[in-house]
């Protein structure tokens, strides 16, 4: 196979498109914080222990789109103020 054939083959594969790959990466990196999570976490101080919050609040979203420890910290520190990811409206 020549280099020209190889380049043509790469251009035909849609997964090698940089814009498409960047869009996929952005979707994967998007956090999922629901409005319920925001309501629950609103009563805690930024220095609150994450494990304690998870133990006391079973209503936090879990599973594939559940809230992570870093997302909890970001909500407590007011970096996340509205629903994000799959919970974002419009």
Tell me the per-residue pLDDT of 16-65, one tens digit each, with 9 for 90 and over.
567 776 666 555 555 678 888 999 999 999 999 999 999 999 888 887 77
Burial of 47 (0-12, 13-18, 19+ CB in 10 A): exposed
Token pair recorded at residue 38 = 């925001």
Would you state the pLDDT for residue 4?
Answer: 58
pLDDT at 13: 57
The CA distance from 53 to 39, in Å, is 13
The pLDDT confidence band at residue 89, using thresholds 50, 70 and 90, is confident
pTM: 0.61
Does the pLDDT value for residue 5 go beyond 80? Answer: no
Report the distance separating Cα 72 and Cα 41, nearest Å.
Answer: 8
């Amino acid at each position: 196979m020549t280099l020209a054939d190889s380049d043509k083959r790469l251009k035909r594969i849609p997964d090698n498109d940089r814009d498409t790959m960047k869009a996929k990466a952005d979707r994967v990196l998007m956090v999922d914080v629901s409005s319920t999570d925001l309501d629950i976490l609103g009563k805690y101080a930024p220095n609150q222990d994450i494990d304690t919050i998870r133990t006391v609040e079973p209503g936090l979203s879990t599973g594939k789109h559940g809230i992570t420890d870093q997302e909890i910290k970001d909500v407590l520190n007011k970096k996340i103020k509205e629903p994000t990811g799959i919970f974002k409206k419009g």
